[in-house]
Structure 1
Amino acid sequence: MTPVDALAAAAALHLGFQLVVTAVVYPALAEVPDDDWPRAHDAHSRRITLIVGPVYGLLAAACLWVLASGSTHLVVLISVAGAVISALATAFVAAPVHGELGRTGRNGHLMSRLRSADRVRLCGAVLCAVFALFA
């Protein structure tokens, strides 16, 4: 397996994960009744963490491998940029918002921020996967 192959595989995994979060997980979480929110959000946070760590870990490893291999092709760099966009949106918006949702409960402003971060992550995942396939 080459570094570019690893990037393409990790990008595809990440995109699949992100599509499920965007199309299934967050809509289901949004439908949880207010009185069940604390339990449902806590369960979501515990479960999703088991997946987020390995998916982002593999994506980061693939990005580092492809960069360490000396690849400076524009399509590779754009793919890595997509991964970075997703990771930054997760680390600096989605994760802190989830923390706040867990502490303070659900409100419209936080849910809006979470969905905005999710759209950014999805765009980054699409960018990463499409350009990795072209690489």
Structure 2
Amino acid sequence: MRARLRRARAHPAAPPLGALAAGAAAAAYLYRTDPHRPGQWLLYCPFRWLTGLDCPTCGATRMVYDLMHGDLAAAFHDNAALLLLGVPAGLWLGWRWLREGLRGRRYRPSPRRATLVTALTLTVLWGIGRNVVG
């Protein structure tokens, strides 16, 4: 029995399926917990807590809540860059990870240096821009 469980956990599909289950549980909790109202039991951004500034992903929890409730305009207001760039990229990478895992292969993306530099530059610019503009 233990060997069987060990093999199941070692299967390449186990990590993406585990991440999918954890994400579904988090989404179920968030669906009923409005992050727009104060006093909710949700994680607080440590960067914002330390600096008082919005990090590039601040607003992501509110954005996901709004998306789950069908309010695209509010989701865009909460974090436009993450909605337009991060969500599609995350869905694509998650799909590839799950698909390869179900095929019995491990998925290890290896982005080019230019891709990483571009992503980091956009993240920094977005972080600065949202704090300067407001």
Range of TM-score over shorter length = 0.3 to 0.5
Give the structure with higher Rg (CA): 2
- Give the TM-score of the pair, scaled to structure 1: 0.40
- Give the TM-score of the pair, scaled to structure 2: 0.40
